[in-house]
Amino acid sequence: MTSTADILECTRVDDTLVLTMQRERQRNAIDAELTAALDAALNELDDNPELRAGVLTGAGAVFSAGTDLKRGSGAPTARGGEYGLVRRHRVKPLIAAVDGPALGGGFELVLACDLVVASTAASFSLPEVRRGVIAACGALFRTARALPRNIATELLLTGEPLAAERAHALGLVNVLTEPGKAVESALELAGRLRVNGPVSIRETLRALDSYHAASDETGWAVTQRAIETVLASEDCREGILAFADKRAPGWTGR
């Protein structure tokens, strides 16, 4: 049986918990085991009073490719939702440390974090439309919250990647760093938070979460409607078959 440490390494650095996804051979694609491990680790971050912040990163050349298309990502968790993170109501800052491509659900993990540190080796993309499916874990509304609307629309409709340098210029990325330095820079950012009052941090995050709650509820409702329509389409079936066959899809628009 795979141990938690084999799929998610949890390291404590002072009062910051560093979570490193370890499915490098699968480009850190998220299966049920990784979802469960992320949920447990984030519960620890939420509940342990000695921890002040978290850093989420991925081992190897890819931050995360999103859902494991062969095995699935497992059921949403009670506290975290999809991937154990996407619908979580957190009161401690979580920093994404991105040192490679964040694709699809991997980008949606980034969008679920509070702050983003990225190296120049990072990129962000939502390639679902190229497969005839749709971004299902928050990107339909969170991308437009994190980026200008036209840029968000471009990412969602083209499936093309956004380079880290441009993401930084547009405000998605808080700190841009050299390749291999994302975690180090994320820990430095966590240190900048550490000097501030924990109650102030907690209540600020809670207020931000409450402010976005109504729009999130609407966002999840429209996402669900879009998912149902797409999954019932001929194009969805064709996109999945074409992806499996490694060929260009023949879209019909139905």
Spell out the domains of the chain, with CATH numbers in brackets. Answer: 4-198 (3.90.226.10)
At residue 244, the pLDDT reads: 86
Does 179 have pLDDT greater than 70?
A: yes
Q: Residue 50 class from Cβ within 10 Å (0-12 exposed, 13-18 middle, 19+ buried)?
A: exposed
Does 252 have pLDDT greater than 90?
A: yes
Res. 1 pLDDT band, cuts 50 70 90: very low
At residue 240, the pLDDT reads: 87
pTM to 2 decimals?
0.95
Catalytic residue among 9, 108, 160, 228: 108
Q: How far apart are CA 202 and CA 188, in angstroms?
A: 19
Q: What is the arrangement of strands in the sheet containing 16-21, beginning at the earlier edge strand?
A: 8-13, 16-21, 53-58, 94-98, 115-119, 175-177
Does 72 have pLDDT greater than 70?
A: yes
The average confidence (pLDDT) of the chain is: 96
Alpha helices in the chain (DSSP H): 4-7, 32-47, 105-111, 139-146, 149-158, 164-170, 182-194, 198-231, 234-245
108 labelled catalytic: yes
Does 170 have pLDDT greater than 80?
A: yes
Catalytic residue among 24, 33, 44, 128: 128
DSSP β-bridge partners for residue 30: 67
At residue 4, the pLDDT reads: 72
pLDDT tens sequence across 99-151: 999 999 999 999 999 999 999 999 999 999 999 999 999 999 999 999 999 99
Does 250 have pLDDT greater than 80?
A: yes
Q: How far apart are CA 79 and CA 88, in angstroms?
A: 6
Helix (H, G, I), strand (E, B) or coil at 96: strand
Percent of the chain at pLDDT > 70 equals: 99
Which residue has 């078959």 as its token pair? 241
Q: How far apart are CA 43 and CA 26, in angstroms?
A: 25
82 labelled catalytic: no
Q: How far apart are CA 153 and CA 2, in angstroms?
A: 39
Name the residue with higher pLDDT: 161 or 4: 161
CA distances from 28 to 7, 25, 44, 70 (A): 9, 7, 21, 13
Calculate mean pLDDT across residues 190-211: 96
Type of residue found at 179? P
